[in-house]
Structure 1
Amino acid sequence: MAELAARRLMLVHAHPDDETINNGVTMARYVAEGAHVTLITCTLGEEGEVLVPDLAHLAADQEDGLGQHRIGELADAMAELGVTDHRFLGGPGKYRDTGMIYNDEGNADVPPETRKDSFWQADLVAAANDLVPVIREVRPQVLITYDQYGNYGHPDHIKAHRVATYAADLAAARSYREDLGPAWDIPKIYWTAMAESRMRSQLRLLREAGDTTTFEGMDPDGPMPPMITPDRLIDCVIEGEQFIDRKMNAMKAHATQITVDGPFFALSNNAGNQIWSAEPYRLVKGTAAPDADGVEHDLFAGL
C-alpha cells in the first residue's frame, strides 16, 4: 500500500463545476500545502444547460453528448487547481444527472419524471458502497459535501449529501463489508455554506453595479432563502486570495456551464476577492478548533 500523505481531504459533489464554484480556493490551497485532495463527482452533468452556442448539439434533448464533454472540462478545471485525484462515483456515467425543475416556491426540485439510471433513483446502499472503498483507501481526515437541502434543493446535491453521509458511517464500521477495505472513521465532516453577511454584502455590490438578475428577487436587506447560512452557524472560513486566479481559471474551464462575460463576472473581476476567495463551512462532525476570531481558518485544525 502506497504511503499516505499527512493530510487528506475528500470532497463529494454532484456534477462537474460544483466543486470549483463551492471549493476551488480550498482545493487549490491544500494542494499547494502538500495535502492529498480527492474529488468524487457523482454524475457527468448530462442534463446541464449548454451555454456555448457552438456546442448546443451536445444537449440532452439533442445528441446527449454533454456528459462526455464535461469529463474533459472537469479534467481541465482540476489541472488549474492542481488536483490529480478526481474520480466519478462508481465510474464515469454510472449515475445519470437527474436534472431539476423550479417548484411553485421558486426552489429547485425533483422533475416529475426521472430516468431509472438517474442518481436520484439510485439505491442508497448501492451508491454508498461505491464510495466506501474510496474512503477506506484514501482515509481522509476531512470530508466536504452539501447540507441536507443540497444547498439549494437540486435532487443530485441532496442525493450526494445522503450518499456521502451514509458512506462515511458505513466506512467507519469495522464489521461492515470487510471486502471493501479496513474501516476508517473520518474525523471531521463539513458542509459547504453561503454565509449570510457575505451574501448580503455581495448582493449590495451587485445591485450597486446595476445587476438585478443575479440572485434575482433577493434583497440585500430582506429575508434570505434556505441556502443562506446565518453567520453564527459558520465554523470555518477558508480565505485564499492568492488562489483566486486558479479558481477563476477553473471556472472558465467549465465553459458549457459558466459564462464569464456577464455582469456577475465583470463585478467579480473587480471585487473577486470578496465574492470568490472566501469559502465558508459548517462543521457537522468532529471538534472545532477556532482561531481568536471564533472561526477556524484551517479544515484540519485540531487534528
Structure 2
Amino acid sequence: MPAAPYRLLLVHAHPDDESIGQGATMAKYVAEGRHVTLVTCTAGEQGEILVPELAHLAADQEDRLGEHRRGEIADAMAALGVTDHRWLGGFGRYRDSGMKWHESGHAIPADDIHDNAFWRADLTEAADHLVEVIREVRPQVLVTYDPFGGYGHPDHIQAHRVAMYAAQLAGVPSHRRDLGEPWVIAKIYWGAMSESRMRAGLRALRDAGDTTSFEGMDPDGWLPPFVTADENLAAAVDATAYIEAKMKALASYPTQITTDGPFFALSNNVGSEALGVEYYRIVSGTQGELGPDGLETDLFAGVPADPA
C-alpha cells in the first residue's frame, strides 16, 4: 500500500481520457504529496490517427497503435508526475471496442467489435481485476465516468460499470479473499463539465472568431451530454497552477490530440482557468467543507488522513 495519507484512484477507458478530464487535478495532488493511481482499461487500439506518417499503425493496417499509445501515456504521466499507472488486468488484457456516431450526436458501439473488446468483457472478471488494485492501494477517493460515459462511448460506459461494481465488491469481506483485505472507498465522483463554464468558454471562442473548435456546440443552445448542469456539480478543483502540466500531458498524445485543436484553442483564447478548474459530481460519501460557490474545492474534503 502506498505510504501517502491521501490516495486517489482514477479509472479511465483509453490513454488521453485522463489528461482531458482530470489532468490538472492529478498534477495538483501529486505535487501536494497525495498518491495518485491511474487504471486504464484499454490501450486505445481503435483510435483515429491524426499523424499521417503514423497511419500505418492503424487497426486496419499493422494494428500497432496500442503499443504506440502505451508510450504516449507514459509521457503524459511523466508530465503530470504520476508514477502509479496500471492497465486493467495487465497491458493488452482488454482491447479498445471502437465506436461510431449515432445520428443524434452521441457515440454508440461499432458494427464490428473485436472478440477481446472491453465492451464484451465479463463484468465480474473485469471488476475483480480492479478490486485487487483497490485493496492494494486503499484509495479514499475514486473518480470515473458517469453512466453514459460522458458521450456514449461503449468503453467509457464499461469503465463506469467496472469501477462502480469493483468499488462495491472491494468492501465485501467475503468476496475474493485472495485479492486482499476489504476496503471501502469513502468518496466516489464522476467527472463532469460545468455548463456555465462551457458556455462562457464557447462564447469567448466565438467572439474571438474561432468557429471550428468544438464544432456544432452553441454557447446559447445545444451542448453534448458530457456537459453537466451546474446544480448537479459537487466539487470544483482549482488546479490552474498546474495547467502547464496538463497541456504538456495533452501534447503527449499527438496521434489523438493536435496542438491547434479545441482544447488548446480553449486554453489560448479563454485562459488557463478554462481547463485548469475541473468539476465533479459526487456519487457516494458525504460532501466536506464547501467553498464560496457552494462546491467542494478538494475531493478529500471531510476525509481523515490515513495514518498507515
TM range (shorter): over 0.9
Give the structure 1 partner of residue 55 of structure 2: 56
Give the structure 2 partner of residue 302 of structure 1: 302
**How much does 1:214 deviate?**
2.6
The answer to whether the 8 A contact 2:23-2:80 is kept is yes
1:114 maps to a residue whose letter is I
Distance, in Å, in 2 between the alignment partners of 1:187 and 1:146 is 17
Q: 1:3 to 1:128 in 2, by over 3 A?
A: closer
1:92 maps to a residue whose letter is F
Helix, strand or coil at the partner of 1:291 = coil
Helix, strand or coil at the partner of 1:10 = strand
Distance, in Å, in 2 between the alignment partners of 1:219 and 1:137 is 44
**How much does 1:227 deviate?**
1.7
**How much does 1:166 deviate?**
0.2
Q: 1:145 to 1:57 in 2, by over 3 A?
A: same
When the two chains are superposed, the root-mean-square deviation of aligned CA atoms in Å is 1.3
Helix, strand or coil at the partner of 2:271 = helix
Q: Which of structure 1's runs of 4+ aligned residues deviate more than 3 A? A: none
Q: TM-score, normalised by structure 2?
A: 0.95
**How much does 1:274 deviate?**
2.8
Give the structure 1 partner of residue 215 of structure 2: 216
2:253 maps to a residue whose letter is H
**How much does 1:217 deviate?**
2.0
**How much does 1:265 deviate?**
2.0
Residues 37-76 of structure 1, C-alpha deviation per residue, up to 9 Å, x if partnerless?
0000000000111111111111111111100001110000
**How much does 1:263 deviate?**
6.3
Residues 222-265 of structure 1, C-alpha deviation per residue, up to 9 Å, x if partnerless?
14332211101110001111100000001001111100024652
Distance, in Å, in 1 between the alignment partners of 2:176 and 2:261 is 49
**How much does 1:144 deviate?**
0.2
Q: Give the unaligned 5+ runs of structure 2.
A: 304-308
The answer to whether the 8 A contact 1:95-1:118 is kept is yes
**How much does 1:140 deviate?**
0.1
Distance, in Å, in 1 between the alignment partners of 2:191 and 2:154 is 16
Give the structure 2 partner of residue 72 of structure 1: 71
**How much does 1:267 deviate?**
4.5
Residues 136-192 of structure 1, C-alpha deviation per residue, up to 9 Å, x if partnerless?
000000000000000110000000000000000000101111011000000000000
The answer to whether the 8 A contact 2:208-2:269 is kept is no
**How much does 1:104 deviate?**
1.8
Residues 192-224 of structure 1, C-alpha deviation per residue, up to 9 Å, x if partnerless?
001100010011112122222332222111143
Give the structure 2 partner of residue 47 of structure 1: 46
2:300 maps to a residue whose letter is F
Q: Does 2:187 correspond to 1:183? A: no
Distance, in Å, in 2 between the alignment partners of 1:267 and 1:31 is 25
Q: Does 2:168 correspond to 1:174? A: no
Give the structure 1 partner of residue 306 of structure 2: none
Q: 1:108 to 1:182 in 2, by over 3 A?
A: same
What are the within-5 Å matches in structure 2 for residues 16-165 of structure 1? 16-165=15-164
Helix, strand or coil at the partner of 2:272 = helix
Q: Give the unaligned 5+ runs of structure 1.
A: none
Give the structure 2 partner of residue 254 of structure 1: 253
Give the structure 2 partner of residue 283 of structure 1: 282
The answer to whether the 8 A contact 1:145-1:190 is kept is yes
Q: Which moved more, 1:49-58 or 1:259-268?
A: 259-268
